[in-house]
A and B are shown apart, each in its own frame.
Chain A
């Protein structure tokens, strides 16, 4: 299993210096990928733009969205932005997409939330077609464009993943919930009669230094979920032991790429995590 780290684009107080230095240290550290989460109506950096910045200061790490909310973006623009990041990074982008969980992001961007599932299904196929056929450039470095991941737990999300993406990205939780989701993703893949197997990606939050600040940030970021925020807080990894158990559990459950997301805007957090995973 490969371990990546999140770019702190949503944590309070993040700035240019933090993001760029974070990306450089991730590149120099034991991390295989650098991930971003996506949200519009929040004091956070834009996911794709931030990845473009990270692309400019790194050479090795994979750049992954976990996930971008597809249906609040025009497919043509998204195809162009993703292809641009793929070019800027020399072919290191993996594009995760889902319908997201927040209505306010749809309201703010002016997209209809009621047709979001159908639009994402269409979008996945159209992205690939734009990249393969080259209707407009830039042509991605990766042949046919970046790998696509789909997140979500509903049946339709899994159908979408199996039909039109290259892998599944899990939304978080204990290893057992990942294992159950991975089994469903594989069954969906089997049903779709696609060759090979889906890539399996997952994520978890950590706060290893100022734990209280981290948990407060999580509470704020997930306040829109109501009572569920407390569960995300409870699942946040706050010690080296918890991180190690989590990694072991996910590896046993068959995860291939685990991305650990920060909750505090502090470079020392990256160093602490690097030390834990060696």
Chain B
């Protein structure tokens, strides 16, 4: 094959040498526009997996690289004047300059043609090539010349970072968090040779401007950072290599090949530097592409398919983890009130790839420290013994109650109530949920009035018969040692629908009732239109919530929750998509919050116990509310008397676009907890106890709603293995 490779970086060179080695009859040319010894950046990081791939792909290259590799197993976190060390993380790094030198040398030995200082500029000169590889980096012109075919997407990250070197040789991957008067700066540093380390400084755009860095040149920026991190540098210097303050760009492409052109390395994907280097992905991509050709000689389409099948899912997962890691560093300022143990644990589990159980494999001592911290924080006891239990078992004193552990359960409505009166099925379900050992069970939406029900089978709390029926349920839960909370709700525009066993939001054919909402709207397109509430209805519903709350105590509930989520009545006030009022209950967020806040205040006035407000994390709609509004609203709920916020799914409108990615509600809960400073409960696809341990210990939420569907599986088989 005649192969033309645009770009002499790690991906292009490594692919060239692997192909040449596999078949010396290949004619391979690499064209690099920079000189052979030009290099930007300092060191590059490899994981153990990448090293294994390098060793297996070409042992000779590996041997030459190995003598220059710096290896370490620890991550140091410098925070609040202390260093906390986490063990068990195998990484290695090498000088980018040395790395490229080894690859060039190996290419030359094998007979790859290398041209430096040469722009290809136009692929027509390579029209005789069987295969053209775009390995020309994040600004790849091969890609940009065919954007319509490759369909790249660019995600520009909001933080600023500068890529320095230093002659201080760290002995671990080191994160430094340094608060200043302007805001927080953080450092990602690691050694890459016997006398050098990479030293990346990152901060938010706002802090960067307040510190005046937008007006400083390269030298002044360097001096600023040397001064800021003088204690950590301990007399050592920083070096610049065109180290400008830039924004990281995550690149992803829909298509990785076009005809006989294929992209590899940074030209096709990048991943935020905070979980390792793009060089790792680039090298792994080059190996996979070369393997594709080895497995399917002479069949380019099959080789590309193999390359993409192997790499695309991995790159997607890595990019998702890198994105979560980047988001962590963008918002890390919100965690500065954390004790060192949860701060470090949160940092180590930031990308979602590592849970508490994973971390325990790597560093059981650190995890034990975190477990003991969690128990101490939950119990108020100073010294927790070595033999402790995981964070999910830590008690929580919040909202004027003591929760025995961090696991909560809620059940979907069985839709079997009669005129709002719950039946045995409810009691059995909630009793079983409590029997799991969860500290709290939450009811389904419980209507505050007959016309606040979702379906004719919805439960209610608006009469003596309801109170008595619930008293039996709450007694059963209490017998199981759990607390039980009632979710007071008014279905609003989602009311008068058929039982949900065959679907939600299907209007009753007959026997329905009038629907209420903030404005004249329908929840689903073409559905029944609810009536915008007038003064009389506003007063009536507020009173209904209050009256239901007065029944919560005789009904035996330990906790009252006001439901302002999922497009039900109160939620219809919160969202700009459904609140079109021109009175003081509409307009800006403060206006849209006013009525639901009045309802919370009314409930608070008659209920002294723990009070929760349930809200949807986002409208999942471009014109709707999102995380910022959620945080502002949370402060208003707390001011109105709420002690805890439940961050839930659902949307104010039917036409929402949530993606349901793993633990998709947790980042919202995290923001509410750590920006609004209130305890939170969160659910949304939390299916394992390990997830709960991780969320709680990392300080992202206080209580987790477990959906234990995975635990239904029985590991037992009969003698025939069935």
Contact = CB atoms under 8 A, between A and B. Distances in A.
B520 interface: no
B385 interface: no
A229 B658 CA distance: 29
Contacts of A230: 301-302, 304-305
Interface string A190-204: 111111110000000
Interface residues of A, number: 43
Nearest to B503: A164
Interface string B394-429: 000000000000000000111100000000000000
Given A186-B709, A230-B304, A191 B650 contact: yes
Contacts of B501: 194-196
A196 B504 CA distance: 13
Interface string A11-54: 00000000000000000000000000000000000000000000
Nearest to B707: A190
A233 interface: yes
Contacts, number: 124
Contacts of A124: 503
Interface stretch (B193-201, B306-314, B477-485, B532-540): B306-314
Interface in B606-655: 620, 648-650, 654-655
A187 B685 contact: yes
Contact of B660 (A133, A155, A165): A155
B720 interface: no
B412 A193 contact: yes
Given A191-B684, A193-B412, A234-B306, A125 B503 contact: yes
Contacts of A122: 525-526
A183 B304 CA distance: 29
Interface string A149-189: 00000111011000111100000000011000001111110
A138 interface: no
A138 B59 CA distance: 70
B721 to A, nearest CB: 12
Given A122-B525, A177-B313, A227-B304, A144 B444 contact: no
B596 to A, nearest CB: 20
A100 to B, nearest CB: 19
B309 A163 contact: no
B414 A164 contact: no
Contact of A194 (B309, B412, B649): B412
Which of A156, A165, A186, A195 lies at the interface centre, i.e. has the most chain B CB atoms within 10 A of its CB? A195
Contacts of B414: 195
B255 A193 contact: no
Contacts of A254: 710, 713
Contacts of B687: 183, 186
Given A197-B709, A230-B301, A231-B309, A190 B685 contact: yes
A186 B707 contact: yes
Nearest to B649: A191
A194 B504 contact: yes
Contacts of B620: 155
B122 interface: no
B81 interface: no
A156 B506 CA distance: 18
B685 A183 contact: yes
A113 to B, nearest CB: 17
A133 B509 contact: yes
A183 B686 CA distance: 10
A109 interface: no
Contacts of B525: 118, 121-122
A128 interface: yes
Contacts of A154: 657
B502 interface: yes
A230 B413 CA distance: 46
A205 B684 CA distance: 33
B649 A128 contact: no
Nearest to B664: A187
B571 to A, nearest CB: 13
Interface in B254-272: 255, 257
B216 interface: no
Interface of B: 255, 257, 301-302, 304-306, 308-309, 313, 412-415, 444-445, 498, 500-506, 509, 524-526, 566, 620, 648-650, 654-662, 664, 683-685, 687, 707, 709-710, 713
9 contacts: A118-B525, A154-B657, A155-B658, A164-B503, A186-B707, A190-B649, A190-B684, A227-B301, A254-B710
Per CB-CB distance, the 8 closest pairs between chain A and chain B, nearest first, are A187-B685, A230-B305, A191-B649, A184-B660, A187-B660, A164-B503, A155-B659, A155-B657
Given A125-B524, A163-B503, A194-B500, 18 more contacts: A121-B524, A129-B506, A154-B657, A155-B660, A156-B656, A164-B506, A185-B660, A187-B664, A187-B685, A190-B685, A191-B648, A193-B412, A193-B413, A193-B444, A197-B709, A231-B309, A233-B302, A234-B302
